[in-house]
Amino acid sequence: MRKPIDALPLHQRRTRREALGLLGVGAALLASAPHASSAQSNEETVLTEALVLRDPEIPVAGNVNGDITIVEYFDYQCPYCRKVEPELGQVVHDDGDIRLVQKDWPILGPVSVAAARMALACKYQEKYVGAHEALMGVNSKLTEPRIRELLAAAGIDVDRATRDLAANGKAIDAVLARNNEQASAFGFRGTPAFIVGKFRVPGVLTMAQFEQAIADARKAAKK
């Protein structure tokens, strides 16, 4: 089994250079990435524990008072995100003490962005989790009409979501920008990617690997 985690101290503010120096392999992976030359002034505050684990603008699934937080960076059109969704959901359910923070990182085109924006608009009617499940639970490519159809089938007031998106578009886009800055600073090259506790876990994991990463995070938290 692949070693699941790289050390990631989130309690300090880190620039990209500092964060990658602590992430080991991630530094090599990011070295050739287009965003590697981004201004550090915008990166010094994106990796704080508060914003990574407890962004107040992102709804929490699972146990909101759980002792371990899992953060997932995902795209609704990513087949690997769809594949891992049932396993992740089962792990969160079985454990019972995990906060799950699902961070929209729409990197697969305009429809992915549209899906993420609509899903985040659903939080204003307290139905983000339902929107997430509806959009993640399909096997085909999304279109904007299909997004609306799936949300309506999940019991979401799509007209209200559209109005909420229009009224709160800047705040929603700010969330997506923060998510993108964080994923880039961590050196993630695609979706899905995870933070488990205070550890960086890129790539698709099995249930057993999730359980190991969670156990390692709890062990680290006791030190």
pLDDT for 203 equals 87
- Least confident span in 40-49, 52-61, 162-171: 40-49
pLDDT digits (tens, 9 = 90+) for 103-123: 999 999 999 999 999 999 999
pLDDT digits (tens, 9 = 90+) for 157-202: 999 999 999 999 999 999 999 999 999 999 999 999 999 998 898 8
Who has greater pLDDT, 150 or 1?
150
Asked if 69 contacts 98 with a C-beta cutoff of 8 angstroms, the reply is yes
Asked if 104 contacts 116 with a C-beta cutoff of 8 angstroms, the reply is yes
The pair of structure tokens assigned to 213 is 């990463």
Sequence-ordered list of residues with C-beta below 8 angstroms from that of 86, at least 6 positions apart, any chain:
none
Residue carrying structure tokens 């992430």? 23
pLDDT for 70 equals 96
Query: What pTM value is reported for the model?
Result: 0.81
What share of the chain has pLDDT > 90, as a percent?
Answer: 69
pLDDT for 221 equals 87
Who has greater pLDDT, 9 or 63?
63
pLDDT for 44 equals 53
Q: Are strands 68-74 and 199-202 parallel, antiparallel or unpaired?
A: unpaired
Average pLDDT for the chain: 83
Asked if 140 contacts 211 with a C-beta cutoff of 8 angstroms, the reply is no
State yes or no: pLDDT of 74 exceeds 50: yes
